[in-house]
Amino acid sequence: MGLLSDPNRRKAITTARILILNMILVLHGDSVVCYLAGIAWFMGLAFEPFTLRTYMSENAMGSTMVEERFPSGERALATAREFAAHKKKVGGMPVDWLVKTMRAQGLEVFTQSFSRNLPFPDESKERFVVRGTNVYGILRAPRAPRTEALVLSAPCSPGNSNNQAVGLLLGLAQYFRSQIYWAKDIIFLVNEHDLIGVQAWLEGYHHTNITGMGYTPLQGRAGSIQAALSLELNSDVVTSLDLVLEGLNGQLPNLDLANLFHAFCQKLGILCTIQGKLQRSDWDTVEGYTHSAQTMLLMVLKQASGRPWGEHGLFLRYHIEAASIRGVNSFRQYKTDATSIGRLFEGMVRKLNNLLERLHQSYFFYLMPSLTRFVSIGYYMPAFGLLTTILLLRALDLWVHLGTPTPVTEDGVGEGESPSSPGLLSVLTPVVISHLTGVALYTLPVLSQEMAVEHFPVSETEAVVLTAIAIYTAGLALPHNTHRLISGEGTEQGWRVLKLVALLYLAVLLGCTALINFSLGFILAVTLVPAAACVTPHVPKALSAVAMVLLSPGCTILYCVFLFQELQEVPVSLAEGWMLFLSVISQGILDHALYGSLVYPLLALLVYPCWLLFWNILFWK
Amino acid sequence: SLISLTSVAFLLRGNCKHVRTKDSPPNICGFNLILVPDIKICRLVNVKTVIPMVQLLNWRRGLFPQTKMAAPLTLVLILSVTIRAVLFRSSLAELISERVEVVSPLNAWKRGLFCYYVLQENNISLFFQTPLVIYLFHFVVDYAEIVFMIVDGITAVALYLAVQNYNKNVFRKQKYALEADRYPHDCLELMRSPKEMHYIPLKVAMFYLLNPFTILSCVAKSTCGLNNAVMALFILSTLKGSALLSAIFLALATYQSIYPLTLFAPGLLFLLQRLYIPVNPCRSRFWFFTVQYSVMFIGSLLVIVCLSFFLLGSWDFIPSVYGFILSVPDLTPNIGLFWYFFAEMFEHFRFFFICVFQINVFFYTIPLSVKLKEHPVFLIFMQIAIISIFKSYPTVGDIALYMAFLPVWSHLYRFLRNIFLVSCVLLACTALFPVLWHLWIYAGSANSNFYYAITLLFNVGQILLVSDYFYAYLRREHHLSQGLYLRRKDGSEATLVLK
């Protein structure tokens, strides 16, 4: 029993630890130092010399030559116009026309109809009861046993958007049909009602039903899907193509997919962006750094939202590497025509066709300050680690304090009337009450919308959002009196134990969150850690209460909304920002109900109760 | 200053609060009191230890108020049944019953059910469970949820009674030792008071019933709960001193999963101690009892195995159950150490390493039995912990059984050194298991190494926990014989080293 039980070595460890602790505690800026170091590290990630250049890891896609010959961009645009005409005529998805056209191109064509009742009306997209049809055609691989497939998808959006995407998809289908080198089935999917359609199709394809969607089973199926590309195109010519990677719950596709896109853009001379930002070469200037920091922060914010930012986002859940490619038409002189875009897709699909196994060689955890640079998990995790270290140091500090004066602890039995049992109760009560508040925040908004609409002059969506905010605020008033109900006077020991529990809880919670969705974990850590580290019952109440509220998870969302708008260079006024904040909340709840995004339950059931524990400590008497 | 017991008691009654809190007036806290010659102890005692001392004396005179503990125990039982019932009815039950941390191929309800139906329909014997359990399924298949809740309740009550009994014994011993003046003078603060021990059985029951691990295991209908119940009954019957019942339950536990075989040694040691037979190979009485106990054990094991044979009419279950446990063919990830290691291994090393891994589980019995032969109950705890760490298909239900014993050793708390670190590690790992499983299996962004790293850390945490308790126990025993404040020969302060 070496290291930990040999007293001599142990003494060495302990003295070293005490030295470090003392050093840190003497400075008493331990938390501040760690916190600033964490933030600085994180911001440093956008600085180009600290990042790595992207490179293709997958052999099957790297070394093979592919020649792109897609000729019929003009024809694709003609198809797009025809599609637009039919769409206008039918007033929705021209199912019959699509089936006919695809069949004429020699694909196996199937349709799937689906329906979904939203828990409350979605005001931003104006839908409540959704019914629609997906049309998909399968191009069977002539040279392989049909066990694997690729998906190309384009949404059939309302109005005049995305017609060109469908046109190009059909054009590609026709061209691919005449090629002989396909080793994987290719599925061309045109889906209605954007993400809901994709969700229905994917659930149908994989025989699952996780979100309570009503859909007809799929008649035709190809092999297991290896990769998917989603296309969004609104104009005949584009100036640049934007790559969208952020998927459901902050999941990202393998970095090789981004590399593939970038490689073909370079080859074909197409301008490519990520987060709508072009790459700059002047990394050593302030502007250059700011630019890449903006790009990275945008990615962080999008990832933290846990929302699928394109149709590809839902594929990722099924372990399918996917990305959305969005055409952007701005005032720039240099334009790219549909033929080039078609060639880009042809090249990408052909390379994906060459894959021998799923993309797995490159990174899954990364942040991109530009399309050619990335930060891998090993580089960004220390930033988060520094922030959580504060929590652990504080917990250790409390543990030492709790241990030294009396050897009584949570299950330690003390002298006299066993202080452990009221102690335990006084800790357990706030924990239980906070979590019950969290459960209320999670369930009540959707459940009580009808009642709210009856009694107040608001729409359903407003009712849901306002109920959520009301419960959130009510929670602030509720739990800080609870421990006194049972245990009478709260003791000095009591809040220390509660804080210890809360600190460890928060550390584990943030750690797990950061593993699944780094950005979310980091953003929560940035605001929650200072509050968690500093709160005691002995600080000035009013001031710290204000600070605590400003650092609560709800306010974090508000800041993120403003920051996001600022970074996208469409700054909003306070009132608009508030409206956006409300819509973000309703979207979050909808995302959870429709696609199973975990951000809302995470915040309501775990993060908010955890924050309430600290709130409780502040008002400990 | 010499104060008689009555005045000490009076003083304490008057200033109870002052004595208990740390900021008591110095004139009381600083006093060194000399206790009465009533129990022939005449030594310097710090005020801190006065309270237990007074309680001790009271207890000796039968003055200690005995409150009834049945009501709180019932309350705990009702609470735990409620939690389980709610979880059984919620949508989580399905999810929990498929977690690899909670069910192993050996104790999964689904697989057991599968065996049962295959046996019933086709008369083909295909086993993941022992025949008796499958036979049990015959009766319980419709009321599985209630049965599993009752089984958990039985385990808790058995542990409760066993620990109550054990505490009584510990007390009696301590009293005799005190009266015989066998403890060194400065060890009074290591004495245990009846007040502090009063709640321990209840805490044990609570630790078992309200432990999230037990709850998960019960909701997943893992047959691990049954094994735990058998083990608890074995412990109860041993501590009550019934050799026959002890042997029968030990045989049942062994029949269920082989590993409890290592509990034979502590069981035997306890019964020997209870009958005041010294562990001495030269004495015939020692051999007589050992042979008697082994015959009872082997006899009941044979009866159970033969019963299984007669139920089925074939011996197929022996290779398919015990072969399955020992040769570890199923490498589904779990919280144990086997799966990753054997998934990575070349086939021709497999046999060798399986032997090494399996011997590892049994090997600790010998040194531990030698070291702890005076303390068989602690040895039982150690053995259960070792089994649950090193067995081939461990689940969280196994861990819950030895964790229930932690309150029994709460007096060792002052000697534990890594408890904060270890509890943080165990807590973090428990949270990380599902997260990394999600990243590996569903998101595809992590791989098996991540999950195994956490498994490894979790087991290291458990090993540290157990060895910490082992060290603390030995150290307390050492202090009880050598005095609390050890000096080297030259008078400097000495430290204890566990090597």
**What pLDDT is recorded for position B180?**
81
Residue B59, pLDDT above cutoff 60: no
In angstroms, the Cα distances linking B20 to A419, B15, B33 are 10, 9, 16
What does the alpha-carbon distance between residue B460 and residue A49 come to, in Å, rounded to a whole number?
39
Residue B64, pLDDT above cutoff 70: no
Query: Residue B376 falls within a domain, yes or no?
Result: yes
> Is A5's CB within 8 Å of B20's CB?
no
First to last CA, chain A: 45
* Of B263, B312, B303, B258, nearest in space to B106 by CA: B258
Average pLDDT for residues A483-509, to the nearest whole number? 79
Q: What are the pLDDT digits (tens) for A247-285?
A: 999 899 999 999 999 988 988 889 899 988 888 888 888
Query: A241: part of which helix (H) or strand (E)?
Result: strand A240-244
For residue A165, the distance in angstroms to the closest alpha carbon of chain B comes to 28
Given the DSSP bridges, would you call strands A321-328 and A224-232 parallel, antiparallel or unpaired?
Answer: parallel
Average pLDDT for residues A108-121, to the nearest whole number? 89
Mutate to test the interface with A, among B441, B445, B493 (most CBs of A within 10 A): B445
Contact B231, B260 (CB under 8 A): yes
Same domain for B319 and B292: yes
> Is B444's CB within 8 Å of A358's CB?
yes
Q: Percent of chain A having pLDDT more than 90?
A: 36
What does the alpha-carbon distance between residue A186 and residue A227 come to, in Å, rounded to a whole number?
10
Q: What are the pLDDT digits (tens) for B435-444?
A: 999 999 888 8
Contact A255, A244 (CB under 8 A): no
Same domain for B333 and B237: yes
Mutate to test the interface with B, among A402, A508, A606, A610 (most CBs of B within 10 A): A508
Residue A559, pLDDT above cutoff 50: yes
Average pLDDT for residues B38-58, to the nearest whole number? 46
Q: What are the pLDDT digits (tens) for A439-492?
A: 999 998 888 887 888 888 888 888 888 889 999 988 888 756 665 665 555 677
Residue of chain B nearest A507, judged by CA positions:
B428
What does the alpha-carbon distance between residue B115 and residue B312 come to, in Å, rounded to a whole number?
12
Residue with the bigger pLDDT between A166 and A28: it is A166
**Domain extent at residue B261:** 70-410
Same domain for B48 and B78: no
B72 contacts in chain A (CB < 8 Å): none
Contact B101, B335 (CB under 8 A): yes
∠ CA A43-A49-A54, rounded to 5°: 100
Same domain for B180 and B54: no
Residue of chain A nearest B440, judged by CA positions:
A319
Nearest to A512 among B20, B52, B435 (CB): B435
Contact B128, B112 (CB under 8 A): yes
Residue B47, pLDDT above cutoff 50: no
**What pLDDT is recorded for position A17?**
65
For residue B251, the distance in angstroms to the closest alpha carbon of chain A comes to 33
Domain end (from B350, B379, B410): B410
**What pLDDT is recorded for position A13?**
66
Same domain for B277 and B178: yes
Query: Residue B457 falls within a domain, yes or no?
Result: no
Mutate to test the interface with A, among B51, B76, B420 (most CBs of A within 10 A): B420
Give the dihedral sign, CA A495/A500/A505/A511: positive
Same domain for B50 and B75: no
**What pLDDT is recorded for position A438?**
92
What does the alpha-carbon distance between residue A387 and residue A399 come to, in Å, rounded to a whole number?
19
Residue of chain A nearest B15, judged by CA positions:
A416
Domain end (from B392, B410, B428): B410
Q: What are the pLDDT digits (tens) for B334-384?
A: 898 899 999 888 889 999 999 999 999 999 999 999 999 889 999 999 999
Q: What are the pLDDT digits (tens) for A375-391?
A: 998 999 999 999 998 88
A436 contacts in chain B (CB < 8 Å): none
Query: Residue B306 falls within a domain, yes or no?
Result: yes
Residue A1, pLDDT above cutoff 60: no
Query: Residue B406 falls within a domain, yes or no?
Result: yes
Same domain for B279 and B175: yes
Band (B15; pLDDT cuts 50, 70, 90): very low
Q: What are the pLDDT digits (tens) for A537-550?
A: 888 888 888 998 99
Query: Residue B312 falls within a domain, yes or no?
Result: yes
Please name the residues in contact with A580: beta carbons below 8 A apart, sequence gap of 6 or more: A561, A565, A572
Query: Residue B483 falls within a domain, yes or no?
Result: no
Q: What are the pLDDT digits (tens) for A141-193?
A: 887 788 899 999 999 888 888 888 999 999 999 999 888 888 899 999 999 88
Q: Give the ipTM.
A: 0.87
Residue B248, pLDDT above cutoff 90: yes
Residue with the bigger pLDDT between A294 and B498: it is A294
What's the number of domains chain B is made of?
Answer: 2
Query: Residue B424 falls within a domain, yes or no?
Result: no
| Pair of tokens at residue A58 | 């997958």
Same domain for B182 and B150: yes
Question: What one-character-per-residue DSSP string does A55-120 give?
Answer: ----HHHHS---------HHHHHHHHHHHHHHHHHHTS--HHHHHHHHHHTT-EEEEEEEEEEEEE
Residue of chain B nearest A410, judged by CA positions:
B410
Same domain for B121 and B46: no
Same domain for B38 and B86: no
Residue of chain A nearest B442, judged by CA positions:
A319
What does the alpha-carbon distance between residue B23 and residue A552 come to, in Å, rounded to a whole number?
37
Same domain for B136 and B48: no
Residues 312-371 of A with CB under 8 A from B: 316-317, 319, 358, 360, 364-365
Same domain for B137 and B14: no
What does the alpha-carbon distance between residue A157 and residue A192 come to, in Å, rounded to a whole number?
7
